[in-house]
Amino acid sequence: MTLLAVAVGGRGLVDPDEPVLRADDEALLRGRAAFETVRVYGRKPYRLTEHLERLAQSAERIGLPAANVLELAELAAQAIGAADTGDASLRLFWTPGNGEGAPTALALVSSLPTHYDALRERGQRLIALRGVRAEEPWLLPGVKSTSYAVNMAAEAEARRQGSDDAVFVDREGVVLEGPTTNIWWRRERTLYTPALELGILAGVTRAAVLELASGLDYEVVEGTFPLADLAGADEAFTSSSVREVMPVTELDGEALGRGPAADELQAALRAEATLGQ
């Protein structure tokens, strides 16, 4: 992903090579900042309102000053306008600075990773890794903060073991989510996905898939499921803003079947996101 455009609160567009944060920004010192990653289709950020709402909630839960969502939306528009592509990834940040001055809003537009279409074609290999079930409020369930080193370490461990990505399970083997994705699987006409009560992130794409699935006549069950349910599924896939709906074809070295739901939902997601373009 190449950084194409950057807009900063109070300053507007800046050169992407220019440093924009204080050296003592809490985002750097402690990972205390809220962020969002949004997929941009034809210069339109998909479900931006939902992303801004989640960012505002994350900021509140981390204890940051209230997020200025209007400013973030304006910066997003400026950065999208300045990038030379309509299909991109938009990242929004709300950081408290050093906690004494004003917070900083940032909008970053980057090119999309180039290998996702090939990965969608082939399907992802996942491994199950023990993760944290955020059962207490101070474990920040459902919060998207810049403390993502653990998530990135899990992804790296999956790659080290020859897989593409990880899926977290708790101590009892209950399926949670991926480091940057929500997880789904299908048995016959029913789709299953872990419930938000498990402390996972309320994915914006997850919410979109929930809506689109009923339009495609799938039943959806949200709940608490053991890993064996995922392993024994007819098909499985992940959902996330930039990777969209991505089939899973292997779990812990065992093949998983391919099926129609992932392709149908990916097509429906694209159709909704690019409506009128």
Ligand X SMILES: Cc1ncc(COP(=O)(O)O)c(C=O)c1O
Nearer to ligand X, 198 or 251 (CB): 198
From the CB of residue 267, how many other CB atoms can be counted at a distance below 10 Å?
Answer: 13
Nearer to ligand X, 51 or 97 (CB): 51
CB of 62 to ligand X, least distance (A): 15
Is 151 in contact with 180 (CB distance < 8 Å)?
yes
CB of 20 to ligand X, least distance (A): 22
**Ramachandran area for residue 216 (φ above 0: left; ψ -120 to 50: alpha; else beta):** alpha
Task: Report CA torsion sign: 139, 145, 147, 153.
Answer: positive
CB of 23 to ligand X, least distance (A): 27
What is the rounded CA–CA span in Å between residue 40 and residue 108?
Answer: 12
> Residue numbers of the site for ligand X (CB under 6 A)?
37, 177, 180-182, 201, 203-206, 239-241
What is the rounded CA–CA span in Å between residue 161 and residue 155?
Answer: 10
Nearer to ligand X, 155 or 235 (CB): 155
What is the rounded CA–CA span in Å between residue 186 and residue 72?
Answer: 37
Say if strands 190-194 and 219-223 run parallel, antiparallel, or are unpaired.
parallel
Nearer to ligand X, 97 or 143 (CB): 143
CB of 30 to ligand X, least distance (A): 19
Nearer to ligand X, 102 or 267 (CB): 267
CB of 56 to ligand X, least distance (A): 14
Structure tokens at 72: 């973030």
- 6 phi/psi in degrees, rounded to 5: -135, 135
